[in-house]
Amino acid sequence: MKIARWSLFAALVLLLVLVFTTDGGGGASDFTRFLGRFHPSLVHLPIGILLLALLLEGLMRTPRFEAFATLTPMVWLAGAWSAILAAFAGLYLSQGGGYDPETLVWHKRLGVAVAVLAVAAYGLRNRSAGTQRLSWGYGALLASLFLGVTIGGHLGGTLTHGEGYLTRYMPDALRSVAGLPSKEDLGRLTLEDPENTPIYASLIQPIFDARCASCHNPNKKKGGLVLDSGEGLLEGGDDGDVLVAGRAAESEVIRRIWLPATHEDHMPPEGRPPLTVAEAELLRWWIDQGASFEQTLAEAEQTPAVKPILDGYGLDEIRTGIFALDVPPPDSAAVAALRALGLGVMPLAEQEPFLQVRCPSTGACLSPPQVEALRPLAPHIAWLDLGRTPVGDSALAVVSTLPHLTRLHLEQTAITDAALAYLDGLQYLEYLNLYGTRVSDEGLQHLSGLPALKALYLWQTGVTEAGVERLQQIHPHLDVNLGLTFAPPVTPAGDTSE
Amino acid sequence: MSIFEEARHEALRQVTRRHFLQTCTTGLGALALTSLTGCQPASLTPTAMPSLRDTADPLAARPPHFAPKARRVIYLHMAGAPSQLELFDYKPALARLDGALCPDSLLEGKRFAFIKGVPKMLGPQATFRQHGASGAWVSSHLPELSTVVDDIAFLKAMHTDEFNHAPAQLLVHTGSPRLGRPSMGSWVTYGLGSENANLPAFVVLLSGGEAPDAGASVYGSGFLPTVYQGVQCRSKGDPVLYLSDPDGLPRDLRRRSIETINRINQQQHEAVGDPEILTRIAQYEMAFRMQTSVPEAMDISREPDYIHALYGTEPGVTSFANNCLLARRLVERGVRFVQLFHWGWDSHGAGASEALNIGFLDRCKETDRATAALLKDLKQRGLLDETLVVWGGEFGRTPMLENRTGLDNPYVGRDHHSDAFTVWMAGGGVKGGTTHGETDDIGYFGISGRVHVHDLQATILHLLGFEHERLTYSFQGRDFRLTDVHGHVVHEILS
């Protein structure tokens, strides 16, 4: 036992000498680098063995596990040796460079402290063999050993995997307990203060860190390219520059990301998760804006392509149109009241606050009590289906009070041009079906103020080609369908609205 | 203690407070932990658990998972597998190889349905031109469809796992080549319900002379409640078999007898609680309503003459054109899923009706005009925006000539081919005027944009507003879904 004790002590002294004489970085030879690479596998041994030793210390003081007292010194010895060897390897690994200096310093200090404490624990354990009670000094030693192992180990994980590794996928319920922002808010917090949000540091570098840095970092340098910092990005790689400021189309980094996934030059390579469309768009936008490292979000110009991405940053999906609005869920009593009056009401989708309303094919449509019942639900109605119902011009007045209407069916009803006046001001209307009605070119004038209109159906109406032409000049992207020309315009039986 | 006393002692112990607090609280705590961490599986939400649904009306309209683009589907299935090389997939390189012996590399390790030995290559038996603003390639056999290609998205590199008709049709429509699974229409009506309570939600129309090889299972409800089964309507004679009252039975008497039957069923339901009884009550009531609504919906003679001219319909006969017009009428009236099967595309070349130069041309003539008319008619009524139209077969055909007998054969044909075929989709949120996927120079294998039939199913469900992985039904101890354990949505063709 004497040799064992003295050799352990000597090893610890050697470790401390090395720690205080080398200053980490420089003087690393290939051989020491090779040894250093064993640190990730070696370091788990002292973690496990020392925690086991702490457990045994606790257990052996209970009457049931007294027998463990004979085992404990050996475990402490193994723990101390493995801690020293792991610390040596860690020292050599740190000389290779490429680790965040602040975290490294603390990890190093804690690792060496653990080695010292482990030797001390072994030494004191031997001396106080047989004691049942835990003395205060020894207890303090064990407690600080525990803290050293856990905190030091956590910092080691941070060095390898980056900050936030543990909490990245934490469920929201635990996040609130831990005082962390919810996943949705994380993205929002980044962008809440555009004046102080540097685009590169907050938006762009995280993309490189998440998708590229596992192969393009100082330790791995695939293709001679380092992407974990701005300098590396500007320097480029073996094949030249990867970034041409202001011209994303000529930048190699953009070219490779946007190649088809099966192309051999595509980055990230097969097996690694590709960039999302939002991330790739953000990169392209940043480079086109001049690839500045200091520019803040407030200073940059948000192009139409990138605006929805920034608006929805941090959220799982990009929502456009009415779905990007923050509308509370509809009042279920109002919905029930509307249903009781005979209208078909259903949400657009399970979690959406928007509703689709349909008039039944028989019975009253948009009678005064129904209009009254629609009033509280006005901001929620997105689709309104009044096709083949007896509605007339006057009943359409309610449509002007529906701000979020996107689809309106009025086919084969008795409406005329006067009804179209009520549609003016519907910001989000995309689809309007007027086939089989008595609208004419005059009524089309009211449709010029609909910015979102995409599809207009005018078969069997009084609208002529000339009228459509005029409308297309105002709305070049509108798709107007006049139907097949041999169908004669409809002659309705009569206006049955009140 | 004797063993009986011990057993009694054990049983008594289990009703003590000590036992409850010691043993049961662990389970309660675990349950609480589940809800606390938000780990509840999606299948516990009411939309997936059928018993929590409103079983009094299983076809009540229901919202999908997210806001949909399409609200209805018309599926035009060309049973027998139409030859993509003569319709949409233009391969000039194949023309140069016409008559050459097939190279071994294409035959190695492959099993064909009928081809044996080394077949010869067969060049395209049609001339191709580009049409529309999108420049889509369509053959001379489909002149009418060429005029509407700007609304169509072609999937040219479809592939499947089966090379025979029945299993392949089952794979396309039910997601598995074996019998017993619900069809696409059943899944869709299970998920969305029906917009019209007076008509069946899932209607099937057959033409071409025979039913599809897989039989009624391609539109069956599998393990879903039978209320979601496809109702086969006929375009000739009684639209639904046994729909009209027998001679001498007044309608009022029919209504009263159905009411009485339902009252008896209701009593049984109160005693036993079987949800299928409620389904049966709902079906009786629906059948009664259908007696008036279905004949009206299925009566194409009411359509104006120019519509008949557009489709090429002939009232009173069973034809694909009649079925297309019926499909439009049904969709106008809120039917959720209309499935058309047209039989006879199996162009092996073993006879005149199977020849690419004779029978195949007849099939094209029978369907071309009506398909184009359907798209045009849906579009002018503003229905194409909300209705997804899908056209396709169950697999494709080989670039090689199939000559079963080996002797001089005046008829040309191709064998079954599962690795490359064409399906197109139009309307309902699909980007028109696009082509996704490409096959190699001879049309043997897809080289880019390969889409499996499961991916097609996932895309259809996506357009209807469903995450295909969440539309499930619990059966035999696990959650089943249409796409089984596969399926990726093809986002490239979505607008």
Contacts of A346 in chain B (CB under 8 A): 61-63
- Asked if the Cβ–Cβ distance from A173 to B310 is below 8 Å, we say no
Rounded CA separation A148/A138 (Å): 15
For B219, which DSSP code? G
Contact by Cβ (8 Å): B61, B191:
no
Measuring CA to CA, how many Å separate A419 from each of A357, A414, B53, B150? 19, 10, 40, 33
Least confident range of A92-96, A389-393, A433-437: A92-96
For B182, which DSSP code? P
**Phi, psi angles (nearest 5°) of residue A222:** -70, 130
Contacts of A349 in chain B (CB under 8 A): 63-68, 465
Residues in chain A: 498
Question: Which chain B residue is nearest to residue A436, measuring alpha carbons?
Answer: B381
Contacts of A486 in chain B (CB under 8 A): 306
Rounded CA separation A123/A142 (Å): 13
First to last CA, chain B: 78
pLDDT in tens, B115-135: 888 889 999 999 999 999 999
Chain mean pLDDT for chain A? 83
Q: How many CB atoms lie within 10 A of CB A350?
A: 16
pLDDT for position A188: 57
Question: Which chain A residue is nearest to residue B380, measuring alpha carbons?
Answer: A483
A346 to chain B, any CB pair closer than 8 A? The answer is yes
Question: Which chain B residue is nearest to residue A432, measuring alpha carbons?
Answer: B382
Rounded CA separation A147/A158 (Å): 16
Chain A window 233-272: which residues touch B at a Cβ cutoff of 8 Å? 260, 262
For B220, which DSSP code? S
**Token couple for B330:** 């049904």
pLDDT in tens, A174-218: 777 777 666 666 555 556 666 777 788 778 888 888 788 777 877
**Token couple for A463:** 């609208």
Contacts of A431 in chain B (CB under 8 A): 382, 385
Measuring CA to CA, how many Å separate A253 from each of A201, A209, A240, A307, A407? 18, 14, 11, 22, 42
Mutation site for B-interface testing, chosen from A411, A457, A477, A491 by largest number of B Cβ within 10 Å: A457
pLDDT band at B182 (very low <50, low <70, confident <90, very high): very high
Contact by Cβ (8 Å): B181, B222:
yes
Report the DSSP beta bridge partners of residue B128: B139
- Asked if the Cβ–Cβ distance from B382 to A481 is below 8 Å, we say yes
Mean of pLDDT values over A231-245? 84
For B103, which DSSP code? P
Q: For tokens 């009263």, what's the residue?
A: B256
A39 to chain B, any CB pair closer than 8 A? The answer is no
Strand A455-457 and strand B202-207: the pairing is: unpaired
Mean of pLDDT values over B64-76? 94
Contacts of A435 in chain B (CB under 8 A): 380-382
Rounded CA separation B123/A55 (Å): 79
Mean of pLDDT values over B427-456? 92
Mean of pLDDT values over A314-319? 60
pLDDT in tens, A57-73: 888 888 888 888 888 88
A14 to chain B, any CB pair closer than 8 A? The answer is no
Do you find a cis peptide bond into A268, omega within 30 degrees of 0?
A: yes
pLDDT for position B298: 86
**Token couple for B461:** 């469900």
pLDDT for position A234: 84
Q: Which sign, positive or negative, has the C-alpha torsion B211, B214, B215, B219? A: negative
The shortest C-alpha distance from B401 to chain A (Å) reads 32
Please say if the pLDDT value at position A25 is more than 70. no
pLDDT for position B362: 93
Category of B99 on φ-ψ map: left (φ > 0), alpha (ψ -120 to 50) or beta = left
pLDDT band at B336 (very low <50, low <70, confident <90, very high): very high
Mutation site for B-interface testing, chosen from A484, A486, A490, A491 by largest number of B Cβ within 10 Å: A484
Rounded CA separation B390/B453 (Å): 12
pLDDT in tens, B90-123: 999 999 999 899 888 888 888 888 888 888 999 9
Residue among B482, B468, B464 nearest B224 (CA): B482
**Which H/E stretch holds residue B452?**
strand B451-452
Of B38, B61, B382, the CB nearest to A457: B382
Contact by Cβ (8 Å): B421, B367:
no
Mean of pLDDT values over B328-357? 92
Mutation site for A-interface testing, chosen from B380, B431, B462, B464 by largest number of A Cβ within 10 Å: B380
Mutation site for B-interface testing, chosen from A388, A481, A490 by largest number of B Cβ within 10 Å: A481
Rounded CA separation A376/A331 (Å): 8
Of B36, B63, B385, the CB nearest to A347: B63
**Token couple for B473:** 């039904």
Rounded CA separation A377/A401 (Å): 10
Least confident range of A155-169, A430-444, B194-208: A155-169
A172 to chain B, any CB pair closer than 8 A? The answer is yes
Please say if the pLDDT value at position A496 is more than 50. no
- What pTM value is reported for the model? 0.70
pLDDT for position A385: 93
- What ipTM did this prediction achieve? 0.82
pLDDT for position B408: 78
First to last CA, chain A: 108
pLDDT for position A184: 60
Question: Which chain B residue is nearest to residue A348, measuring alpha carbons?
Answer: B67
pLDDT band at B397 (very low <50, low <70, confident <90, very high): very high
A324 to chain B, any CB pair closer than 8 A? The answer is no
Please say if the pLDDT value at position A23 is more than 80. no
The residue with greater pLDDT, B225 or B56, is: B225
pLDDT band at A127 (very low <50, low <70, confident <90, very high): low
**Phi, psi angles (nearest 5°) of residue A355:** -120, 155
Of A351, A354, A459, the CB nearest to B381: A459
- Asked if the Cβ–Cβ distance from A352 to B63 is below 8 Å, we say yes
Report the DSSP beta bridge partners of residue B448: B438
Interhelix angle A101-127/A2-21, nearest 10 degrees: 160
Rounded CA separation B330/A198 (Å): 57
- Asked if the Cβ–Cβ distance from B64 to A455 is below 8 Å, we say no
Of B37, B376, B380, the CB nearest to A457: B380
Question: What is the CB-side half-sphere exposure of residue B351 using CA atoms within 13 A?
Answer: 4
pLDDT band at A233 (very low <50, low <70, confident <90, very high): confident
Contacts of A323 in chain B (CB under 8 A): 67
Rounded CA separation B264/A277 (Å): 60
Q: How far is CA A158 from the centre of its chain?
A: 20
Q: Is B310 helix (H, G, I), strand (E, B) or coil?
A: helix
The shortest C-alpha distance from A320 to chain B (Å) reads 12
Contact by Cβ (8 Å): B413, B350:
yes
Q: Which H, E and C letters describe chain A, residue by residue?
A: CHHHHHHHHHHHHHHHHHHHHCCCCCCCCHHHHHHHCCHHHHCHHHHHHHHHHHHHHHHCCCHHHHHHHHCHHHHHHHHHHHHHHHHHHHHHHHHCCCCCHHHHHHHHHHHHHHHHHHHHHHHHHHHCCCCCCCCHHHHHHHHHHHHHHHHHHHHHHHHHHCCCCCCCCCCHHHHHHHCCCCHHHHHHHHHCCHHHCEHHHHHHHHHHHHHCCCCCCCCCCHHHCCCCCHHHHHHCECCECCCCCCCHHHCHHHHHHHCCCCCCCCCCCCCCCCCCHHHHHHHHHHHHCCCCCCCECCCCCCCCCCHHHHHCCCCCCCCCHHHHCCCCCCCHHHHHHHHHCCCEEEECCCCCCCEEEECCCCCCCCCHHHHHHHHHHHHHEEEEECCCCCCCCHHHHHHHHCCCCCEEECCCCCCCHHHHHHHCCCCCCCEEECCCCCCEHHHHHHHHHCCCCCEEECCCCECCHHHHHHHHHHCCCCEEECCCCCCCCCCCCCCCCC
pLDDT in tens, A29-42: 788 888 888 999 99
CB pairs under 8 A between A and B: 69
The residue with greater pLDDT, A375 or A361, is: A375
pLDDT in tens, A278-301: 788 888 888 888 888 888 777 788
Contact by Cβ (8 Å): B275, B303:
no
**Token couple for B15:** 């009703």
- Asked if the Cβ–Cβ distance from B465 to A349 is below 8 Å, we say yes
Of A262, A346, A411, the CB nearest to B381: A411
Contacts of B195 in chain A (CB under 8 A): 358
A178 to chain B, any CB pair closer than 8 A? The answer is no
Least confident range of A263-267, A451-455, B422-426: A263-267
